[in-house]
């Protein structure tokens, strides 16, 4: 397992790039929790934001994360400039990208408030707006492959878990679940049959999250909910999350999805003889807890937050938890330092369990990822995903063999038939419609 280490790093190295992956901050419960626990509706009315969205506490957690990055890399390391515009006003130094969920985009913006506080904007405008890149969910392969191209594979794995190990855990916790159902005013076994119902394991997660978020919001607990009951359902929910998503290396691969390739691309940026003109000094990524846990399992980075639930040798995460990666150079050799920060614990250096040293050689760091993927296959292979194109693919089996392979090629030109012309025009119209639709829905391609 990974182990916390001292915060000191050798002074004889040069910091070349910083990258972070941050869980969104505290949020309001999901809408369905109103149906799962109608006796807790009073607490719903006390949130100042819509369901699922970042609360004022979550915003402050991410602002503090940005303040930490500013303190470490602007003030202490003198690596980043006080302004996102850089010393020469030539190119933005920082790049922010978020999962397609609103709360992840909000988290990125809130982190920007901490990294670039009032007064760091251009002369005449004291605030510093940041650009946050987001994809539509259907196009999001770096942060949400299980919700898109890997949806069918993920669903099959979840169904298998729910009918085996998941069902065993539910039966073991039957008295606790029935007690919570009584407090909420529902029969927990009827959750799948509610008008907006969901499977029982997801229902348990939404109930546990609701109790956790209420506590983070400083609200009174549901009447009759004891600390013991809350702890039990939170432990069950976290065990379900870890076991149904990360029990095999194959699952880890598709849960990390395209982010593994993105991470490798970024950390190798400083090794290029001529760095890209469009490269950034700091990459700030924002996602859900599932992405951090998946990447942690891939890298051998277990989390050890005291007092939080544990499963598969790792703990759950505080809102705003941030994984930090520093790419450094010493004697023309590159290595990676890893750190963990959260609003509750501050910053700790982390020695990855799969790496030979705290100063993890870049080649070895990259090998951890590539070796894992070589063992399981790529997420595209696991999920049978192939990017679609507008041009039809002609498979060899559909091509008629030549009558005489040795004969000289014959070239002929035929005018298209009326039907063929109509087909071409229809394809052209469909293409134009798709382009206009993507433009109007805010689609933006990312490098």
3-state SS assignment for residue 331:
coil
Q: Which CATH superfamily is domain 3-28+54-148+265-380 in?
A: Phosphoglycerate mutase-like (3.40.50.1240)
Dihedral (CA of 61, 63, 69, 71) sign: negative
pTM of the model: 0.84
Burial (0-12, 13-18, 19+ Cβ within 10 Å), 297: buried
Q: How confident is the model at residue 411 (pLDDT cuts 50, 70, 90)?
A: very low
Q: How confident is the model at residue 122 (pLDDT cuts 50, 70, 90)?
A: confident
Residue bearing the bigger pLDDT, 127 or 370: 370
Give me the long-range contacts of 182-189 (CB less than 8 A, separation at least 24): 183/37, 183/39, 183/222, 183/223, 183/224, 183/225, 183/229, 184/36, 184/37, 184/38, 184/39, 184/40, 184/222, 185/37, 185/38, 185/39, 186/35, 186/36, 186/37, 186/38
Q: What is the mean pLDDT of residues 370-396?
A: 77
User: Which residue bears the tokens 């290396």?
Assistant: 249
3-state SS assignment for residue 105:
helix
3-state SS assignment for residue 347:
strand
Compute the mean pLDDT over every residue in the chain, rounded to the nearest whole number: 87
The span from the CA of 68 to the CA of 79, in Å, is 14
User: Which residue bears the tokens 């003889």?
Assistant: 273
pLDDT digit string, tens, across residues 39-91: 999 999 999 999 999 999 999 999 999 999 999 999 999 999 999 887 776 67
CB count in 10 Å sphere of residue 191 = 23
């Amino acid at each position: 397992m990974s182990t916390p280490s001292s915060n000191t790093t050798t002074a004889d190295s040069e910091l070349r790039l910083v990258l972070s992956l941050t869980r969104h901050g505290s949020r309001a419960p999901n809408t369905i929790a109103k149906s799962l626990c109608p006796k807790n509706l009073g607490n719903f009315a006390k949130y100042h934001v819509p369901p699922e969205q970042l609360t004022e506490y979550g915003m402050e957690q991410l602002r503090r994360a940005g303040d930490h990055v500013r303190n470490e890399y602007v003030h202490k390391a003198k690596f980043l400039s006080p302004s996102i515009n850089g010393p020469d006003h030539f190119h933005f130094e920082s790049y922010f990208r978020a999962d397609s969920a609103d709360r992840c985009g909000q988290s990125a913006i809130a982190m920007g408030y901490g990294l670039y506080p009032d007064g760091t904007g251009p002369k005449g405008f004291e605030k510093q707006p940041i650009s946050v890149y987001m994809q539509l969910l259907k196009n999001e392969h770096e942060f949400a492959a299980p919700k898109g191209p890997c949806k069918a594979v993920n669903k099959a794995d979840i169904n298998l878990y729910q009918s085996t190990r998941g069902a065993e855990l539910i039966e073991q916790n039957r008295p606790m679940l029935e007690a919570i159902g009584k407090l909420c005013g529902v029969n927990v076994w009827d959750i799948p049959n509610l008008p907006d119902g969901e499977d029982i394991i997801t229902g348990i997660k939404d109930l546990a999250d609701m109790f956790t978020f209420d506590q983070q919001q400083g609200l009174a607990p549901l009447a009759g909910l004891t600390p013991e009951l809350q702890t039990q359902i939170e432990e069950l929910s976290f065990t379900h999350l870890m076991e149904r998503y990360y029990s095999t290396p194959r699952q880890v691969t598709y849960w990390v999805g395209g982010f593994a390739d993105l991470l490798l691309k970024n950390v190798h940026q400083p090794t290029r003889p001529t760095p890209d003109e469009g490269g950034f000094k700091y990459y700030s990524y924002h996602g859900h807890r599932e992405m951090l846990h998946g990447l942690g399992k891939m890298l051998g980075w277990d989390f050890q937050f005291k007092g939080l639930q544990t499963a598969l040798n790792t703990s759950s995460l505080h809102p705003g938890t941030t994984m930090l990666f520093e790419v450094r150079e010493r004697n023309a050799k590159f290595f990676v330092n890893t750190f963990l920060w959260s609003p509750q614990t501050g910053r700790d250096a982390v020695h990855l369990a799969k790496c030979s040293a705290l100063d993890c050689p870049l080649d070895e760091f990259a090998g951890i990822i590539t070796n894992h993927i070589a063992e399981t296959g790529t997420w595209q292979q696991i999920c049978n995903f192939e990017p679609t194109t507008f041009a039809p693919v002609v498979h060899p089996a559909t091509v008629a063999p030549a009558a005489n392979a040795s004969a000289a090629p014959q070239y002929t030109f035929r005018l298209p038939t009326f039907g063929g012309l109509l087909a071409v025009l229809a394809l052209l119209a469909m293409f134009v419609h798709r382009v206009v639709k993507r433009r109007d829905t805010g689609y933006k391609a990312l490098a």
